[in-house]
Amino acid sequence: MAERGRPRCFDREAALYKAMDVFWRNGYEGASLAQLTEAMGINSPSLYATFGSKEDLYKEAVEQYDANEGAEINASLSADTDIRTALYNVMRITAEYFSDPDKPAGCMVLLSALNCTPENASVAQHMCDLRKRSTNLLRQRLLRAQQSGEIAASANIEQLTAFMTSVRQGMSIQARDGADRDVLMGIANATLIAWDALCSAPPTSA
């Protein structure tokens, strides 16, 4: 049987979505070239000619993921709403996206390159930078809420940022382990209860 080449009517975006799904399910190192080419419907030379290296393909797939899956969360943080509503929307969207039965469970950015061998350190660092960027968006939103008086001046924004980030990361792992939407929404609701307590409690020393 002849090896798959690049189809005459090759759909680059569709192929990228297929690659994204493979990386999302298997992680960067767990996704083999055979799995990628099979899912994308092309052979290895065509993959390299179109997307560059496996790392280049992965980074582009992550950009596609972030543009799609991250857009609504980013919009919630940027929306002209009170901070509690913004955070509730972030947690609700997180629960819905991470448990979508039509997609791999959890977050691709959080799960697909946590543990990489030294030769793939640049991939791990790239993903770390993306996670830090997401954390900074949340931090900036909390700072704006503090400046507008929605959050007490005595509140520790770094602690609040770390708390909310840790919960979302934990929800991703819970989803990958099989937690359904109801479970994740329970976590989201409990987080908002904890948020109210944290914002009303006196500041603690670092």
Domains belonging to the chain, first-starting first, are 12-63 (1.10.10.60), 72-200 (1.10.357.10)
Question: 168-177 pLDDT, tens per residue?
Answer: 999 999 999 9
Residue 148 structure tokens? 């507008």
CA–CA dist 187, 91 (Å, integer): 9
Sequence-ordered alpha helix ranges (H) in 5-120: 12-26, 33-40, 44-51, 54-69, 71-78, 83-98, 108-111
| Residue 29 CB partners (closer than 8 Å, separation 6+) | 113, 115, 116, 117, 120
- Tens digit of pLDDT at every position of the chain (206 positions): 444 555 556 799 999 999 999 999 999 999 999 999 999 999 999 999 999 999 999 999 999 999 998 999 999 999 999 999 999 999 999 999 999 999 999 999 999 998 899 999 999 999 999 999 999 999 999 999 999 999 999 999 999 999 999 999 999 999 999 999 999 999 999 999 999 888 765 545 54
Phi, psi of 34 (to 5 degrees): -65, -40
CA–CA dist 75, 180 (Å, integer): 24
Q: Are 99 and 184 in contact (CB under 8 A)?
A: yes
What number of CA atoms fall less than 13 Å from residue 49's CA on the CB side?
8
- Which SS3 state, helix, strand or coil, does residue 84 take? helix
Q: Are 142 and 160 in contact (CB under 8 A)?
A: yes
